Amino acid sequence: MFDTPPAETPSRVGALPTLTRRRAQRLFRPGSGLLRDESGAATAEYAIATMAAVAFAGLLVVIMRSDEVRGILTDLVRRALTFE
């Protein structure tokens, strides 16, 4: 199926070096599964989402430690608990 094309037929794959041609044939062979193999894709997505969540949590920690934000939150709680 993926034999070398005849010499009279111009082909981009036929013009490639042998090793590259073999790699291209192996990668793009129908049913090879190499291009459709998504094993580990979900794990990578979870890893990226986890890293984003950790970065966001770190940013929140930095923001919450500032005196200005602490004062705003303290004032908010006092207003919520005060009856007038």
Confidence of residue 4 (pLDDT cuts 50, 70, 90): low
Which one is predicted more confidently, 24 or 7? 24
Claim to verify: residue 18 and residue 1 sit in the same structural domain: yes
20-58 pLDDT tens trace: 877 777 777 766 655 566 666 788 889 999 999 999 999
Tokens representing 74 are: 């303290």
- Rg for the chain (alpha carbons), in Å? 30
- Identity of the amino acid at 65: R
Q: What is the pLDDT of residue 81?
A: 93
Cα torsion 13, 16, 22, 28 to 10°: value is -40
Taking 3-state DSSP, the helix, strand and coil percentages for the chain, each rounded to the nearest 5, stand at 60, 0, 40
The residue that leads in pLDDT, 62 or 3, is 62
Tally of structural domains, the chain? 2
15 and 31 fall within a common domain: yes
Domain that holds residue 11: 1-37
